[in-house]
Every structure is written in structure tokens, then in C-alpha cells.
Structure 1
Amino acid sequence: MYNSLNEKELKVKVEDLIRQFKSSLGVNLCDEIVHLKHIYSVVFESKIEVGPLKLLNLICEKNLEPVFMIVCIALRLFCTLPLTTWQRASMSQQCLNSLSLLAIEHIVASTLDFRDVIDEFANKNARKI
């Protein structure tokens, strides 16, 4: 959808988004999105606009995360919002915050050995029983 907007419309929508998520998104988001709009068809070799998850994956595949750092954070937030609203009834706020942090810090998370995490989780649950 952002490709079909002119720069003025795009900036207005991004500024609204920044106001709603000012603690997570910086003011440079607008510049990053405008830059992404200009290079999209050349870098991703397509004029077809893709959904947020596909766009996030394309940015990661091309190793452009350092260039579009705030865009990646915004896309991760967008991709997890439906989950968080659905899960809110059965999941604590602490767990949701942890999942959001894990999504944002995915580079650090990708270096973790999940076997240790799973073992620790299993041991804690085994003690509860």
C-alpha cells in the first residue's frame, strides 16, 4: 500500500504511526520508508507490493536491516499486533512484553541455544507439578 501513496500522504501516515508507537519507533522512520519506496523496485526486482511479513523477510534476505532498522521494528510490531490482541485474553502482559522484545532483538535471539532454554523451562514446570 505504501508504494501507491505519494510522499506527502506517506509522511502523514507514518507520522500518525510514530505518534501511536513513539516509544518504539523513531522519527527517522519516515525517511527510511521514503527511501525504501524509492529503491523498492530496483532492490527487490519487483513492482508488485508485498505484505508486511514478506517485506520484512525480503529486507532480511538482502541484509538491509542496518539500513532500514526502524522499518524492521515497525514491521515486526505490525506482524505481532494481531497475535497480541488475540493472545491478550490467555497470556500475561509480561509474556507479551517478552515476545515483543524477542521479535525486536531477533538477531541476538538467533544466537541462543534453545535447548538450554527448553531444558530450563521444562525443569521449572516439572517443579510446579
Structure 2
Amino acid sequence: MLIDVAIEKVKGLISFFEGYRETGFLEALQIAKEIALEMNIDATFRKRRKIKRKKQFDENPDDTNIAPQSAQESFRVNYFIRVVDQAISSLTRRFEQYEGYQKIFGFLFTSETLRSLDKDSLKSSCVNLEASLTKDKQSDIDANELFVELKSLQNFMPKENIGPVEILNFLKRHDCFPNASIAYRVLLTIPVTVALAERSFSKLKLLKSYMRTTMTQQRLNDLATIALESEVLEKIDYEDIIEDFISKNTARMRMFK
């Protein structure tokens, strides 16, 4: 999933939960009752015993006339709304993070967006991207060179609207856009979800255990890549890899003849 798609999906989720907060309780309650009945669980809220308290002499008489909340209303206010509000808050933070990425990389999302920029807007976007990719006064790209490359790319790309993956594949076939290639590679390596990072940590515990503490970083990286991309690995023809390995050394070729 790409960032622009994620922004649209998260925005739709926020809108859904905002409406669900106001109108979804009764529907959720009905579904919960049906599940409870299937599991032979009493589908009613427990009623708390009303505690009678002695009235103090300085209390306002109006305070004692306030009707207590029903068990259902108490559940809606103290549980349902809080859970939905927490979901909205989490999605809003994620949406703000995506918007930050959009401000930096938005002009690279599609070929149509890139072609729609005028000279000044494109120049400003390149300068902003260079500043974002700068650390210790060193940047991965040069804004002026990127501007020249993208300006040429606006007329050089296919006319149909394509996404960043297709644009990067197009750049790979034409090895004359180094800064643009780096910019699109950085864009496509930004994690849209945390699922991949969590999967990496889970695999790390299996690969580097207490019995393998002397494993080098290169070997660990290679094993992690194999473990994470196991589906791709299963499609590889090992015979071709073996033949390629043998062909790169004359001694091996004599050995395996």
C-alpha cells in the first residue's frame, strides 16, 4: 500500500468512527446480545445495588434529586464512547503522520501530479525534499539536479497516469535520472503500516538466539531477508543459482564437470 492510498483509507476510517460514535451503540449492543445468546450468556447488564447515603446538613437538596444513570447508559458513556474515542485519536495521529509525508513526497505520488507542477512549484518541492533528506549537512539528493531531472521527466514519461512503482521501474530502464531514482526509492521504502516492522522483530528472536550470539551482522541481515521473503524464495530456481555460482570460478567448473 502506498502513502496516498493509506491517507484516503485512514480518512475514511476516521469519518466512519465519528459517525459510529454517535449512532453505532444500539447496533453494537444488538450484535453483542446475539453473540451472548449463542454462548448461553445472560444478555443483560448487571444492576448495581443503590447505596443509600445519609444526607449531610450542608448539601444542596437539588443534588439528591439527580436520577442515576442506567446500566446501559453507564456502559455507553464509560466504555463504548471511550473505546471509539481512542480509535479516533489513534487514527488521527496516523493521519497527521501521513500528511507530513505527503507534504514532503506528495509531488512524486503519481505522474499526473508531477506533470501538473509548474517550474516554481517543482523547484520548491525539490528544495523541501532535499532539506528533509539532509542529516549532518549531507543530503541523499541535490535539489538543483533533481529539479532538472524531474523537469525533463515531465515530458519524457509515458502519457498515462502511473504510480511511483511504475515510475521507478521506468527510471531503472533509463539510467540518467540518479537523483530522481533515489527520491522514489526513499518514498517506496517508507513503511505505511507497522506490520512489517513487527514481523521483523518476531523473526529476529528466532534467528539470533542466545546460542547464536556470535553471528555477524551481514549473516543476520541475509537470514532475516530469507525468512521475511520466504514466498519469493520458494519461487527461485536453485539450479540456476548453482550454475551461476559455478560459472564464476574456473576451479569450481573443473570440480563439477
TM-score by length of 2: 0.30
Say if 2:114 and 2:154, in contact at 8 Å, map to a contact too. no
Map 1:65-84; keep pairs closer than 5 Å: 65=175, 67-82=176-191
C-alpha contact 2:141 2:182 (8 A) present in aligned 1: no
Match of 2:169 in 1: 57
Cα RMSD after superposing both structures: 3.3
Q: Are residue 18 (structure 1) and residue 133 (structure 2) matched?
A: no
Output the CA distance in 2 between the equivalents of 1:87 and 1:79: 14
1:48 aligns with 2:160: yes
Letter in 2 for 1:26: I
Query: 2:196 is aligned with what amino acid?
Result: Q
Q: 1:10 & 1:85 partners in 2: Cα distance? A: 31
Letter in 1 for 2:165: L
Bigger Cα Rg: 2
Distance of 1:91 and 1:12 partners within structure 2: 36
Whether 1:32 and 2:141 are equivalent positions in the alignment is no
What's the % identity of the aligned pairs? 24
Question: Quick check: 1:56–1:72 contact (8 Å CA) kept in 2?
Answer: yes
CA offset digits 1:39-59 (Å, max 9, x no partner): 443x44x32342111101011
| One-letter amino acid of the counterpart of residue 140, structure 2 | L
Contact map agreement 1:14 1:30 (CA 8 A) in 2: yes
The count of residues paired between Structure 1 and Structure 2 equals 94
> How far apart are the structure 2 equivalents of 1:52 and 1:2?
11
Q: Distance in 2 between matches of 1:9 and 1:53?
A: 23
Q: Structure 1: which 5+ runs fail to align?
A: 100-114, 117-129
1:53-89 CA distance string (max 9 Å, x none): 110101112xx23x21121111111011025855334
Gaps of 5+ in 2: 1-112, 202-216, 226-240, 243-257
Letter in 2 for 1:22: T
